[in-house]
Structures are given as C-alpha cells and as structure tokens.
Amino acid sequence: MPVTPAIALPVSMERTRPLPIRWTEDIEHLDGATRGELQIPRCTSCGREFWPAGPVCPFDFSADVDWVTDSGDGVVNSWVRVHRPYFDGDDVPYVVVQVELTSGPRLTTSWTGTDTPIIGEPVSVSFREVGPGVWLPEFGSLQA
Ligand SMILES: [Zn+2]
C-alpha cells in the first residue's frame, strides 16, 4: 500500500548556500570580519576566549563578556574533505578545517589552501566576501 505524505512537499528542493544570520551573539564577529579582524568573545572574569559566541562564558558562566581582536594564528586540529555538494552550486570537493587558535578557541571554518591540511600545522586567518558586504574568516597554511 503506497504511503501518502501528510504534508505537501515543496515543488523545488533548491538549496542555495545561505548567508550567515546576524544573531545577537555573532554581530561583533561578523562585523569584525568585514573590517578584516577576527573578533572573538573573551570573558572578563576568567580572561579566557571562547567559541562559539554566547551570552555567558562556558568556563565560569560569567555574563561579563567582551570582544577582542584575535591574532588569527593557530593550528589545524581536524579537517574533512567534502565530496558531495550540500548546497546547489557548491564547488566540490572542498575542505573544512577545525582550527585551534593560539588563544584557545576552536573554529570550524573554510580552508583556503589547495593542499591537504596537516594536523598540527600552523595556520593564519584571512577573510573572504561570501555575499554583498558579508565577509567570513577562513584559514590556510602559513606556507601558502
Ligand atoms: Zn570566564
């Protein structure tokens, strides 16, 4: 017996890559990227930087959070090569890396290099315009 869906499926299953949503917690980070700065939240109580951004520090739950301009230096902590397009128009394969900043936080981000990342290799931040006036940080090898 055929199963009839309870709701109508959309005619188009087009999935275009969305631009970042400007959540309250991320505005400083996104505006910093537009200026070419890596803005990361830092707890003024314990002094630690953290990611993802949020209203309280994940280490001591203090709500005294400020933003600092991070150097963007770090190392590759993990990476994956994506072979299947997630959004229409994705240019595959591409590499997603998790970078551990020298200051501590880990960011999951785009890889700028054409080479294969190496766990522990030093990286630095750069910025790419992903939409009109919308910039995001991305990372690549220092040797690039
Ligand atoms: Zn803290």
Placement of tokens 């990342």 in the chain: 117
Per cent of the chain over pLDDT 70 is: 89
Tell me how far the alpha carbon of residue 52 lies from the centroid of ligand 1, in angstroms.
Answer: 14
Q: Which domains does the chain have, with CATH numbers?
A: 24-141 (2.40.50)
Tell me how far the alpha carbon of residue 31 lies from the centroid of ligand 1, in angstroms.
Answer: 23
For residue 112, the model assigns a pLDDT of 94
For residue 4, the model assigns a pLDDT of 53
For residue 6, the model assigns a pLDDT of 58
Tell me how far the alpha carbon of residue 54 lies from the centroid of ligand 1, in angstroms.
Answer: 12
Tell me how far the alpha carbon of residue 43 lies from the centroid of ligand 1, in angstroms.
Answer: 4
Tell me how far the alpha carbon of residue 25 lies from the centroid of ligand 1, in angstroms.
Answer: 16
Tell me how far the alpha carbon of residue 14 lies from the centroid of ligand 1, in angstroms.
Answer: 42
Residues shown for the chain: 144
For residue 79, the model assigns a pLDDT of 98
Tell me how far the alpha carbon of residue 50 lies from the centroid of ligand 1, in angstroms.
Answer: 9
- As beta bridge partners, residue 143 has none
Could you give the CA distance from residue 88 to residue 99 in angstroms, rounded to a whole number?
Answer: 26
Could you give the CA distance from residue 97 to residue 76 in angstroms, rounded to a whole number?
Answer: 7
For residue 87, the model assigns a pLDDT of 87
Could you give the CA distance from residue 140 to residue 84 in angstroms, rounded to a whole number?
Answer: 22
For residue 8, the model assigns a pLDDT of 54
For residue 74, the model assigns a pLDDT of 97
Low-confidence ranges of the chain (pLDDT < 70): 1-14, 143-144
Q: Collapse the DSSP code of 34 into the 3-class scheme (helix H, G, I; strand E, B; otherwise coil) and give the result.
A: helix
Tell me how far the alpha carbon of residue 24 lies from the centroid of ligand 1, in angstroms.
Answer: 19
The pLDDT tens digits for 3-12 are 555 565 455 5
